[in-house]
Amino acid sequence: MRDNMSSTDLESSIHQDYLMAKIRASLIDYEDLDGLKVVISDLIEFKYSMIYEILLNALKINKTGLTRFINVGNSLSFREMKEVPLIELGYENLKNPIMFFPEKGIFRKDLIVFSHVYYLYKFMEIAYFMNLGRFLEKEDFIKLYNCGLDERILFALNGFDKIESSTEFSSDLFIELKKVKWESQYVELFFDKLNQIRTDLIYSDRISQLYSNPSFPPLHKIRTWLVIFITARRASLYSPYRDHSITESVFIFFLAACSTVNDNRIHITCDDVLMAYNTYYKLFKVDMVTLVDKLWEKKSKSKNKGYLVCDKCESYYELQEGESPEDFSDECECGGKLAYSESKPV
């Protein structure tokens, strides 16, 4: 099959095979995991695709993940963010430490805190910004935060674009997330290794040096990234955009925790980590602009239940939650006929 390849394509194919072999060797203790090979292949595909080049150029980030300049638009204020049901429930039910270390639970009892919810939306902003191809306006943020994509990601994970409707949720979700723990050190080490591979493969130019020592320490334990959130003003000395690789790490970990809770468990397994990566990849590959527009339109229609309008006296009745035109007679008290209308009569 390689006989028909150009010299450039052949070199790229050989290099990808080499990377696959080196990565699998560094994860030799996990080689029997179903789905691992697919995740590794996706990582390598990201390395050689234009997806990340577009992202890094759009965010003005260099290959180390450090920001030269960053701005995706004028985001919502924290007061406006708290109007989003999922954010409000997360804020009320999860701890919100003044000092947040992105490392998985370092110096804190709970692995999941409110800052993880915050990072979910920061990641969504970046992915949407990349798909949209321009800075986000206030209306874009409102649409993104309120279209229901957040709920779909948390409850359906990599099926976020397939389910027909959002899942009903309550504070129980966050109460369960507070209980999440690692199943074992074996699983935690798997997350660390895969996180290090992803970070170095995508953001580092030191490809020839990668994985020569399978016992390399995880990136997030070499560098401590301190995030300080001052709740009262919601002022931050650290932006989630500043090091995008860290934002991704926190986001992926949060997805793994959600996968655990969705399966009515409290211990994160290797399968949860793989599910998190599959969801992460898909968010970059999906047409998010079309998806958000579709969800927003559906959400808007569900909010407006419509009206029954009389063709004679021109009076109207606004349908309430759970009501449909079939629940009523088609005749008005005045003797006129009632017709359904999506828009409010003028």
Write out residues in the chain with pLDDT < 70, as ranges.
1-15, 50-52, 54-71, 97-108, 164-167, 203-243, 301-305, 321-322, 346
Are 246 and 280 part of one and the same domain?
yes
Are 109 and 241 part of one and the same domain?
yes
In the structure encoding, which two tokens stand for residue 303, read together? 């909010």
Assess contact for 234 and 114: CB atoms under 8 A: no
Residue 193's nearest CA partner among 223, 166, 220, 163 is 220
pLDDT at position 222 is: 33
Distances (CA, A) of 223 to 146, 211, 217, 246, 249: 35, 19, 10, 10, 13
Distances (CA, A) of 127 to 39, 46, 209, 244, 287: 19, 14, 30, 11, 10
pLDDT tens string 237-292? 345 555 677 788 889 999 999 999 999 999 999 999 999 999 999 998 899 999 99
Domain membership flag for residue 221: yes
Q: How many Cβ atoms are within 10 Å of 34's Cβ, its own excluded?
A: 9
pLDDT at position 206 is: 43
Assess contact for 119 and 253: CB atoms under 8 A: no
Helical pair 288-303 and 114-132, crossing angle rounded to 10 deg:
110
List, in order, residues 6 or more apart from 201 with CB less than 8 Å away: 19, 23, 43, 44, 46, 47, 207, 210
Assess contact for 127 and 150: CB atoms under 8 A: no
pLDDT at position 329 is: 84
pLDDT tens string 74-110? 888 888 888 899 999 999 999 876 555 555 555 457 8
Q: How many CA atoms lie within 13 A of 271 on its CB side?
A: 8
Domain membership flag for residue 346: no
Our count of domains for the chain comes to: 2
Task: Tell me which amino acid residue 64 is.
Answer: T
In this structure, the dihedral spanned by the alpha carbons of residues 205, 211, 212 and 214, taken in order and rounded to 10 degrees, is: 150
Domain membership flag for residue 335: yes
User: Residue 211, Cα to own-chain centre: how many angstroms?
Assistant: 28
User: What are residue 318's phi and psi, to 5 degrees?
Assistant: -85, 120
Are 297 and 310 part of one and the same domain?
no
pLDDT at position 165 is: 63
CA distance 245 to 242: 9
Are 22 and 82 part of one and the same domain?
yes
pLDDT at position 322 is: 61
Are 85 and 6 part of one and the same domain?
yes
Domain membership flag for residue 189: yes
Domain membership flag for residue 262: yes
Are 294 and 203 part of one and the same domain?
yes
Domain membership flag for residue 318: yes
In the structure encoding, which two tokens stand for residue 4, read together? 């028909």
Are 170 and 309 part of one and the same domain?
no
Range of the structural domain that residue 60 is part of: 2-301
Are 221 and 328 part of one and the same domain?
no
Are 141 and 220 part of one and the same domain?
yes
Are 294 and 309 part of one and the same domain?
no
Phi-psi region of 157 (alpha: psi -120 to 50; beta: other; left: phi over 0): left
Domain membership flag for residue 282: yes
pLDDT at position 35 is: 93
User: Residue 172, Cα to own-chain centre: how many angstroms?
Assistant: 20
